[in-house]
A and B are shown apart, each in its own frame.
Chain A
Amino acid sequence: MDHGQLDKMAEIAASPRDYAVAFKARTGRKVIASYPMHLPAEIVHAAGALPVVLQESTEEISVGHGLIYPFYCGFSRSTIDQAARGELDFADGVVFGDTCVQILGSADVVRVTHPEKPVYFFQLLACMRDSWTAENVEETIGKLRRGVERMLDTTITDQALWDSIELFNENRRMIRRIYEIRRRNPEVIDATRLQDVVKSSMVMDKAEHNALLSGVLEQLAEKSGGPGFRTRVFVSGHMCHAPKPEILDMIEEVGAVIVDDDLYTGLRYVSTDIPENDADPIRAIAASYVTRNANIPDPTKIDPDVDWDGYLLNAVEASRAEGLIILMPKYCEPHMYYYPEIKEAFEREDIPHLLIETDHEQLPIESMRTRLETFVEMLRQRELA
């Protein structure tokens, strides 16, 4: 398989800043950085700017620890550190809408360290079932549009919005197609490569990314998979930033193969399209925000009718995974809250799961390898029994 497109995606995923800087130089357009998870980047795109989702960097955190305590998730510490080191210079503004308290704290720090940069917050309601939810979410998205217009000193037409929505929907559809192929035949693409596909989509101009995706899909369609001896596992967690590639590689090295995931830099990012049959693009975007949680539950959202544990049980079954590997970033409170529900659900259904705590700092590689190997040994044993 010609890895040209995937290599390009990997390169960009490894250094989003380089891409953004080159983009600005090339096009003369602006770049708006955003915090995860739910901010509709279509609005930024429709305004003519490049939306870039902030990523955890591989740099060790140094000056950032003078602005925030160490007992914060790696993503928040890394973005603060990047800001402190001037790495967010490519961004003409920062936008965020999610309400995880650590993201709020991070953005507050970023704004103080960059008083010259507009840092906008549009509070996306966490509670999905209140009688005012739909109305409030629509209002918020409307404010977001006006805020972005002001930030970029431009006007966003409905038509421009629809064009962006169509483009982003196409991007999501193609990535979901890759996921479908992988579910059936996990040997056709490595987990880290698939991560690069999504990570690069979070950074690149969507039209450019769509072109690369077409090439990838063409080649995947031709590829036949391996013999399928490896133990199938589902990977869950990391709702704001990518797990370190070394972890995913290790999972696949000890004899397992990742058949599906609900990672942010994975299926979460592409699970939900914006309906194109509404008259009002703002209403359509608002609707997709609510639907997205039902498609892949996010523990910071309050919805009594949506259960992340139930979703995982179904997803594990649908992907014919034999076990669940949970990657939980240390200090991720939303995940820590929900974990016992998942643990109990999986114990009840007698599906093995393994909890691995991740962090920004260097992994204790051997310790992680031992746990993963033991997990695979356990799953193999069950298979034989």
Chain B
Amino acid sequence: MLAELAPPPTTSNRLKTTAMNNRMVTAYWDDLFAAKDNGKLVCWYEGVAINPLLQAMDISWCHGEAWSALLAAKKEEQPALLASEERGYGRELCSYARTHLGTGILRERGQIPGSPDHEHIAGRAPAPDLIISAYPYCSTGQQWDEMLFRLFGKRVPVFNITLPYIWGNGSSHAYMQGEEFEDAVKFLTRQLRECVTFIEGVTGRKFDWDRLSEIMSYTKKAGELRLEAMRMCKARPAPATFFEWSISIAPVNFLSAGPEIVEYFEKLNAEIAGRVASGTGSVPREKYRLFWDGIMNWGKLGWMAEKFSGYDACMVAGRYTHMGFWQEPQVIDVDDPLEGMARNYLTCPINHSAPYMIDRITELCEFYEIDGLVMHGARTCRAFSNPQFLIAQEVSKRLGVKIAMIEGDMIDPSFYKDELVNSRVEAMLEAIDARRGLI
């Protein structure tokens, strides 16, 4: 990689409502940092959003990916990454895991970085009282929890949930249908029930099913509103970008569910509807509509937004935001939510094999009238990068969209190469122009 260049000038027309999201997120983290002082138990988990189960029992949680993303966004990931490198974790290992494990190492081995007056944020996550593993598709995710368990001396109670991978063995398989899928739903729902029993064991209290229903009704509503808002971006120019949708994952991923998250998406919908009515786009001059495949590069989110805006390109949608995070809210029965939760977990965008994903991405590209796909090849996330060549080839064959493949990583900046990003994106935009007969 190269030297840090100055960030591109601000040109994009950002949503105002996002400020509310940022306040909620800050409040959430402050809350978590104070969890032990407030006598709360803390659960470390990664992967699917099982936090409603925790919230129902007043347990605080630290979602590994969200935590790592926070550090990367604040450019504070280095102490944690260094700690894990020193212990012997290779640089090619999932950077989410390395950051989270690094945090654990700092805490467990008493090496909180920073001066006596300023505790570095990397050391502020409270140690776990329980660990729940529920990772879709990615064995690396499951192992991440196992190694955390070992790092903490096998002292922390851990619960393992296996998410069956929807491969599609039989010809009856279709999205959310077929024997294979239904068997998976049954198996996962059963495990969620067992998880509830585990939580009862750790807390010494009976599970509050009413509270879960309440939580899930907010989550369901928030999920529905978010999908509605995203769909409004079919408009030309698109009123919001994938980068803003990435920021807005928080309320449907790791924030506490309550009236606030519903209010947030109501406000967001209103702002977006307003923009559609007035024809206001997120990008001042929308010449290109793009789709982001792959995980987000959390340290470069704002950077990326400006870069593409500068190219007159709107990143309208992406696999990560549009195919995950309570993306099927309609199947949730708030009175008995476990099965609906299971269906959502199983259909997250990495838990389906390539053929399904290709179909779904094709649908999205058609709906949003996409010109080009940006394939973000995150170096240490093989779960997302596994099918990318297949997606690129097939979707471009079906729709004629152009492709740019860029390298990066969710957390580790050393894998990002700005010069290469520029040249590849520019080449793609030129190809789109050529297709339009403009060259």
Contacts and interface: CB of A to CB of B under 8 A. Distances in A.
Is A bound to B?
Answer: yes
B134 to A, nearest CB: 11
A330 B354 CA distance: 25
B201 to A, nearest CB: 13
Nearest to A330: B92
Contacts of A132: 187, 190-191, 194
A67 B94 contact: no
Interface string A244-287: 00000000000000000000000000000000000000000000
Interface in A318-339: 328, 330-331, 333-334, 336-339
Contact of A108 (B90, B160, B379, B387): B387
A171 B252 CA distance: 54
B147 A337 contact: yes
B91 to A, nearest CB: 9
Contacts of B87: 340, 344
A147 interface: yes
Contact of A123 (B164, B385, B388): B164
Interface string B79-90: 000000001111
| A interface, size bucket | 35 or more
B377 interface: yes
Contacts of A100: 139
A221 interface: no
A147 B354 contact: no
A302 B162 CA distance: 11
Contact of B138 (A71, A101, A129): A101
Nearest to A120: B169
Nearest to A126: B142
B167 interface: yes
A304 B152 CA distance: 12
B67 interface: no
Interface in A86-121: 99-102, 104-105, 108-109, 111-112, 120-121
Given A101-B140, A108-B390, A299-B143, A126 B162 contact: yes
Nearest to B387: A108
A345 B167 CA distance: 38
B150 interface: yes
A304 B191 contact: no
Contacts of B187: 132, 136
Contact of A336 (B92, B133, B139, B194): B92
Contacts of B389: 66-69, 109
B165 A336 contact: no
B137 to A, nearest CB: 7
Given A69-B377, A299-B143, A125 B162 contact: yes
B154 interface: yes
B382 interface: yes
B224 to A, nearest CB: 31
Contacts of B94: 333
Interface string A46-80: 00000000000000000000111101100000000
Interface of B: 87-90, 92-94, 97, 133, 137-140, 142-144, 146-147, 149-150, 154, 158, 160, 162, 164-165, 167, 169, 187, 190-191, 194, 353-355, 377, 379-380, 382-383, 385-390, 394
Q: Which are the 8 A-B pairs with shortest beta-carbon distances? A: A105-B386, A340-B88, A121-B167, A336-B90, A127-B160, A336-B93, A340-B87, A101-B138
